[in-house]
């Protein structure tokens, strides 16, 4: 399929899809191909590109080129890091200082499994890991946890 920019005898511009150029030529000048605005079937194909130059219609923006780094791993944008952390803690229950206790209760099935966050000292976190409990240490406290 190809899309053509068309213009009717009254100056209306529109687009139409055709299977091929032959398909367009077969329909052009017949009621099969009429202006959707006024019904005029004196339809011509605009030379390609003219619509972008004159109509002011905005073409779909090309995707911005992804930031590339040829010099090794990109340095993360702090805002992105913070956003990622927020996403991570989103939906987790803040259990504060009861974190090690809650983590154990969840791990041992004493309470329904859920995602929690809270505070644990490095020693406590280490102890949890030793028990096979997955603990993710965040490099900085989420803002809403600061009291
Ligand atoms: Zn028209």
CA distance 10 to 16: 17
Whole-number Å distance, alpha carbon 11 to ligand 1 midpoint, is: 6
pLDDT (tens digit, 9 = 90+) per residue, 83-138? 877 777 788 889 999 999 999 999 999 998 888 889 888 899 899 999 998 888 77
Q: Are 133 and 118 in contact (CB under 8 A)?
A: no
CA distance 84 to 68: 20
Burial of 133 (0-12, 13-18, 19+ CB in 10 A): middle
Whole-number Å distance, alpha carbon 121 to ligand 1 midpoint, is: 74
Whole-number Å distance, alpha carbon 24 to ligand 1 midpoint, is: 17
Whole-number Å distance, alpha carbon 15 to ligand 1 midpoint, is: 12
pLDDT (tens digit, 9 = 90+) per residue, 1-54? 889 999 999 999 999 999 998 999 999 989 999 999 999 999 999 876 544 444
Give me the residue spans of the domains in the chain: 2-54, 78-145
Whole-number Å distance, alpha carbon 41 to ligand 1 midpoint, is: 8
Task: Give the predicted TM-score (pTM) of the model.
Answer: 0.40
């Amino acid at each position: 399929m190809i899309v053509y920019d068309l213009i009717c005898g009254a100056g209306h511009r529109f687009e139409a899809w055709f299977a091929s150029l032959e398909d367009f030529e077969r329909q052009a000048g017949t009621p099969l191909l009429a202006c959707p605005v006024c019904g005029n079937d004196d339809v011509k194909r605009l030379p390609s590109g003219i619509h972008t130059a004159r109509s002011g219609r905005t073409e779909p923006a090309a995707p911005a080129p992804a930031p590339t780094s040829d010099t090794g791993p990109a340095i993360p944008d702090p805002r992105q890091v913070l956003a990622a952390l927020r996403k991570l803690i989103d939906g987790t229950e803040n259990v504060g200082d009861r974190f090690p206790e809650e983590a154990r209760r969840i791990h041992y099935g004493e309470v329904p499994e859920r995602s929690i966050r809270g505070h644990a000292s490095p020693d406590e976190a280490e102890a949890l890991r030793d028990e096979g409990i997955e603990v993710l240490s965040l490099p900085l406290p989420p803002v809403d946890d600061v009291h």
